Structure 1
Amino acid sequence: MQTEKEYHKQIRTFLKNKTFIVASNRGPYEFNRDEHGNLTKRRGGGGLVSALMALGSVPNLVWMASAKSDTDRQIGLFGQQINEPSLSLNVKFVDIDKKVYQPFYNEISNKLFWYTQHLLWNTPYSPTIDLKTYRAWQNGYREANKTFALSIASEANKSANPLIFIQDYHLYLAPKMLRPLLKKGRILHFTHIPWPSSEIWSLLPDLMVKETISGLMGSDIIAFHSLDYVNNFLETVSKYFPVDIDSNRQEIYWGKRRVLVKAYPISISTAQLASLATSKEVMAHEKELLAKNKGKIILRVDRAELSKNIIRGFLAYELLLKNNPALAGRVTFLAYLYETRNSNDYSQYLRSVKRLVKKINDKYGQKDWTPIKLRVADNFLQSLAAYKVYDVLLVNSIFDGMNLVSKEGPLVNKKNGVLILSKNCGAHNELGSFAYIVNPFDIFQTANIMKQSLILSKEHRRQKALLLKETVKRNNSLKWLYYQLKILDSLQTSQDIYLKKLHPIG
């Protein structure tokens, strides 16, 4: 088994004479100016940022992202070089007009695509596709992707050998728009959220689904977190386009090109996380947690997001307390959430979460015991401390592309904690054999699994925890990146035939 250090060395050697371009809506940093005019930076969140930050110092790494602040816009495509002991990259920003960004981000990316791909629609009422939706697609999503494609091409064409990683559902159209603009280069698009079956995609207009697929087909490789998503994608393509598909080889023959469709489960930087878990600040949080929580701990760490299924997790815990009165005062549920998108749906959901927590605490709480301790704050170091001390980690997402909490927790946990994992998480394929698997909609099952996890023998807990930890260490984020780079670079230029006249931007 290769270590992260060995993968890192191979990647550095591999990229020595290449330019590695990452393009995503969210960048690794957001820049601002303090009151004295000095440049400040705040690290972005999300699994992609964490995974690619593990690269550290590699040659010729350029990360292109949407400008979020005025300072980002000022930096623009000139770029801001980051040189730190463990990190070296050039961050560049794509400035998308606010009138374009709003429909691109809020109406198409984080509403139409997010809700469809996570099965969040209440279909008797939504989605309702109207003229506003079509205008958001044309004047928002298309235009933003076009702006990204032009910016990526400008950067890539400075290099004799660019490798381009386009990330996620915000940029489905960019590969097709980009390819005719490139002098040279290979393109990989990675979708970090679930790709559902064609029946789910039929909720959206055929025009949008077809344009999404043909946009992705500008890539040399289309990648997902799990083989299930690969198979769903192949099936969706076959429904909408009369093309040849080799399902066994996971290849699509698109015009005169061969497009590979592959699964690469994303992971975490195990060395960095393990090191951070032993820092003084994390250890201080850990000491405080243990002092305030004497019994067993059920933990969840999530964005306050509809797809994370937070309410059903609390309902299952309420059922656990109802059916097992002896657990009162002995099992505390720590829920560490951080706010996410600023929209009515999410604000209402968080209010519903808080109301349910109050109801459960009022009903079952005791003078010296609060059943659910809810924290809504973005404090990763505190979350990391909680990872170390849980007895049960609950990850019961409705649908999730991967869910890195299911990897972060078991890696640093010190109590042989048990993982309860939704069958609809991408991590299920990799970690399911060593976790308790639940149907995320079934609170009766989840409550029973909670009880089983709490009473599991020490030896069985130890075995499961050890196998989880070994699997996460083995499949680290640098391994995830290495195999994508390796196969992308191996593609021969003979398969890169692409007729510009057949695939113009627009």
Structure 2
Amino acid sequence: MQSAGYGLVVVSNRLPFDGTVGPDGEPSWVRSPGGLVTALEPIMQEADGAWLGWCGAADAVIEPFDVDNMRLVPVPLSESEVADYYEGFANDSLWPLYHDVIASPAFHRLWWESYRRVNRRFAEAAAEQAAQGATVWVHDYQLQLVPAMLRELRPDLRIGFFLHIPFPPLELFAQLPWRRQVVEGLLGADLIGFQRAGDAGNFVRVVRRLTELTTRGQVITIPGKHGHSPRHVRAAAFPISIDSKKFDALARTPEVQQRAKDIRTELGDPKVLMLGVDRLDYTKGIRHRLKAFGELLDDGRLTVPETTLIQVASPSRENVGAYQQLRDDVDMAVGRINGEHSNFGQPAVHYMHHAYPPEEMAALYLAADVMLVTALRDGMNLVAKEYVAARSDDRGTLVLSEFTGAADELTGAILVNPHDIAGLKDAITYAAHLDPREARKRMRRLRRRVLTNDVALWSETFLAVLTAVPARNTHG
């Protein structure tokens, strides 16, 4: 077995950098947004790490390269694999299934075969890059077969897996035609991390029902083969976070503070500015939020221009039918509310269908009196944590869906069931008129949690538990 290679290998569907080709035809790489690279970069540099993932362009074959002292190893995907493995099985089968079947999942054998084939390619690439006895950390629902495939190729490795989205209850997961293969794929890991204790519990229940394996609490025992000792797999919650100190510092800069003031001025200085920030995804509850806000204006409980809502919805998976329908629905809802309630030059809803850089997001968070997070199901929801990290003034109120992973941690938020439109309307009204002293008390509690439990602590905690797993011999 090879002795060269990297001591830590991270495997995710996408590399943490987006490639662009300059006028001279030479590729250059820009760090893509997201906290994962922020969390893992210092650890990877210290551990001599490599990161495997797709570069984001179909049919691109790119040699491994170095950026910011990290080794990046592109794993190629063909155009048909992007359609079948990624847009198909990952995002039209697994994503809706794992998000409470808010939209109906589609199951196609062709998609499954592509998923299996791509997972094998990722596993082989990881096996090639990992040093003897290395730690490999696999991420998310696109790569759930990789742990078992990798263990088969390299029994000497410590393998961790983290699921960034929810894991569904048995009654929903059981719909998946390839349910047993997915469970067996995940059980190739030594440690399986989830966002919430409930997700880890769901997984253990699925293991108990679909396999003959013994479980005790969080630990699943896999019998050893050929006289070898059994292997133990732990399924536990490791709630992810953000680089909260960096976001806090960004929101304290004079430029961002001034921009926040300018935003309010540009909107006509409303008494209450509400904000929603989401990917345009049916799991985010944007339709429910707009329905509640529109009805509050209809009822006269909120009025324009005293109250206004900014809804930022960045484009997402525009090739998938359910997302195209959602965009049409949101456009229509915003048009109706503005048609019925806007004043000249003062719309009730400012709807932005594009993404913004972190500086503008920090200014929006700082400008908003009420943050509305109404997801119908969300693994964590980092927008809620970004809002809290930005509020160094201890002002602002967070209305938070109880169906987000963040609801377990952010106990100073006003929790809501977004399916209960009447209850959601009451919560929004309560937040709009919350006593400033009560709001400050809630925000201080939220900030203590978010600033202490940052993304660096998350990655360190997961890797500490994983590296405590005893080293195994090459026969596994």
What's the TM-score once normalised by structure 1's chain length?
0.86
Q: Which amino acid aligns with 2:165?
A: I
SS in structure 2 of the partner of residue 163 of structure 1? strand
2:267 matched to 1:299?
no
Determine if contact 1:392/1:418 at 8 Å carries over to the other structure: yes
**1:251 equivalent in structure 2:** 219
Change in 2 beyond 3 A, CA 1:382/1:63: same
Task: Rate the CA distance shift 1:450–1:325 in 2: closer, same or farther, 3 A.
Answer: closer
Matched-pair contact (CA < 8 Å) for 1:101–1:144: no
2 CA distance for matches of 1:405 and 1:52? 20
Change (3 A) 1:114 1:49: farther
Which of 389, 393, 397 is residue 418 of structure 1 equivalent to?
397
Aligned residue in 2 for 1:12: none
- 1:277 aligned counterpart, secondary structure: helix
Residues 54-63 or 185-194, more deviating? 54-63
Tell me: CA distance 1:291–1:57, structure 2 relative to 1, closer, same or farther (3 Å). Answer: farther
Is the alpha carbon distance of 1:441 and 1:447 closer, same or farther for their aligned partners in structure 2, counting shifts above 3 Å? same
Deviates more, 1:453-462 or 1:159-168: 159-168
- Structure 1 residue 390 corresponds to structure 2 residue 390: no
Counterpart position of 1:363: 340
Question: What runs of 5+ residues in structure 1 fail to find an aligned partner?
Answer: 1-16, 499-506
Q: 1:337 maps to what in 2? A: 313
More helix, by proportion: 1
Report if aligned partners of 2:302, 2:429 keep a CA contact under 8 Å in 1.
Answer: no
Deviates more, 1:323-332 or 1:481-490: 323-332
Cα deviations by residue, 1:52-81 (Å, 9 ceiling, x for unpaired): 3575853412111013237x93433xx221
- The CA deviation at 1:337 is 1.4
Alpha-carbon distance in 2 for matches of 1:437, 1:146:
42
How many Å separate the matches in 2 of 1:244 and 1:425? Answer: 30
> What SS is found at the alignment partner of 2:351?
strand
Deviation for aligned residue 1:51: 4.1
Q: CA deviation at 1:285?
A: 3.4
TM-score, normalized by length of structure 2? 0.92
Q: Percent identity?
A: 27
Are 1:108 and 2:80 counterparts? no
In the alignment, is residue 234 of structure 1 matched against residue 208 of structure 2? Answer: no
2:227 corresponding residue in structure 1: none
Across the aligned residues of Structure 1 and Structure 2, the Cα RMSD in angstroms comes to 2.1
Alignment of 1:6-21 (within 5 A): 19-21=7-9
Shift of 1:32: 2.2
Q: Which runs of no fewer than 5 residues in structure 2 stay unpaired? A: 224-229
Structure 1 residues 330 and 55: CA distance shift in structure 2, 3 A: farther
Whole-Å separation in 2 of the counterparts to 1:282 and 1:389: 10
Partner Cα distance (1:98, 1:423) in 2: 38
Paired letter, 2:303: L
Q: Structure 1 residue 127: deviation in Å?
A: 4.2
Partner of residue 75, structure 1: 62
CA contact (8 A) 1:257 1:496 kept: no
Does structure 1 conserve the Cα–Cα contact (< 8 Å) formed by 2:92 and 2:106? no
Asked if the contact 1:394/1:420 (under 8 Å) is kept, the reply is: yes
Equivalent position to 1:319, from 263, 279, 295:
295
- 1:183 to 1:326, Cα distance in 2 relative to 1, 3 A: closer
Tell me if the contact between 1:66 and 1:96 (Cα under 8 Å) persists in the aligned partners: yes
1:38 Cα shift? Answer: 3.6
Name the counterpart of 1:136: 111
- Aligned partner of 1:224 in structure 2 is 194
Match of 1:175 in 2: 147
SS at match of 1:214: helix
Corresponding residue to 2:263 among 265, 269, 289: 289
* Distance of 1:93 and 1:169 partners within structure 2: 19
Contact map agreement 2:278 2:284 (CA 8 A) in 1: yes
Stretch of structure 1 that moved more, 459-468 or 40-49: 40-49
Q: Distance in 2 between matches of 1:473 and 1:396?
A: 23
Q: Give, as a single letter, the amino acid of the residue that structure 1 aligns with 2:330.
A: V
**What's the secondary structure of 2:438's corresponding residue?**
helix
What amino acid is aligned across from residue 100 of structure 2 in structure 1?
Answer: L
Change (3 A) 1:337 1:56: farther
TM superposition shift of 1:278: 4.0
The match for 1:3 is none
Describe the SS at the equivalent of 2:48.
Answer: strand
TM-superposed CA distance for 1:239, in Å, is 1.1
Partner-residue secondary structure (3-state), 1:434? coil
The structural deviation recorded for 1:202 is 2.1
- Quote how far apart the aligned CAs of 1:376 are: 1.2
1:462 maps onto 2:450 in alignment: no
CA distance in 1, matches of 2:41, 2:70: 10
Residues 74/287 of structure 1: CA separation in 2 closer, same or farther (3 Å cut): farther
SS in 1 for 2:60: helix
- Look up the match of 2:17: 29
How far did 1:490 drift?
0.9
CA displacement at 1:82 relative to structure 2: 1.4
| Number of aligned residues | 461
- Stretch deviating more after TM superposition (109-118 or 269-278): 269-278
Change (3 A) 1:495 1:252: farther
CA contact (8 A) 1:336 1:383 kept: no
Distance 1:358 1:50 in 2: 39
Q: 1:399–1:424: 8 Å Cα contact kept in structure 2?
A: yes
Offset, 1:493: 2.6
Aligned 1:389-408 pairs, distance under 5 A: 389-408=367-386
CA distance 1:109–1:336, change in 2 (3 Å) = same
Structure-2 residue corresponding to 1:346: 323
Q: Partner residue of 2:241?
A: 267
Of residues 125, 129, 132, the one that matches 1:151 is: 125
Change (3 A) 1:223 1:213: same
Q: Could you report, residue by residue, the CA deviation over 1:369-408 in whole angstroms, capped at 9, with x for unpaired residues?
A: 2111011111133222111121111111110000101100
